[in-house]
Amino acid sequence: MKIFGHRGAAGLVAENTLESIAEALLYPIDGIEIDVHLCKSGELVVIHDETLDRTTNGKGNVSDYTIRELKKFSSEEGFKIPTLEEVLHLIDARCNLNIELKGKNTAIPMVKLVEEYIHKTHWEYNHFIISSFDHPQLFEIKETNSKFKIGVLTEENITAVLPVAKELDAFSIHPPITTLTNDEVTLAQEKGLRVYVWTVNTENLIKQSKKWNVDVVITDFPNFV
Active site residue 48: yes
Active site residue 135: no
The C-alpha atoms of residue 120 and residue 116 are separated, in whole angstroms, by 6
Q: Which of 37, 48, 119, 122 is catalytic?
A: 48
Residue at 113 is within a domain = yes
Question: pLDDT (tens digit, 9 = 90+) per residue, 32-91?
Answer: 999 999 999 999 999 999 999 999 999 999 999 999 999 999 999 999 999 999 999 999
- Domain of 136 in residue numbering reads as 2-38+83-224
Q: Which of 6, 37, 127, 135 is catalytic?
A: 6
Question: pLDDT (tens digit, 9 = 90+) per residue, 15-26?
Answer: 999 999 999 999
136 alpha-carbon distance from chain centroid: 17
Residue at 149 is within a domain = yes
Residue at 140 is within a domain = yes
Residue at 23 is within a domain = yes
At 213, which CATH number? 3.20.20.190
pTM of full prediction above 0.95: yes
Structural domains in the chain (count): 1
E strand map for the chain:
2-6, 31-38, 44-46, 96-101, 128-132, 149-153, 172-174, 194-197, 216-219
Residue at 47 is within a domain = no
Residue 206 has a CB neighbour count (10 Å cut-off) of: 21
Residue at 46 is within a domain = no
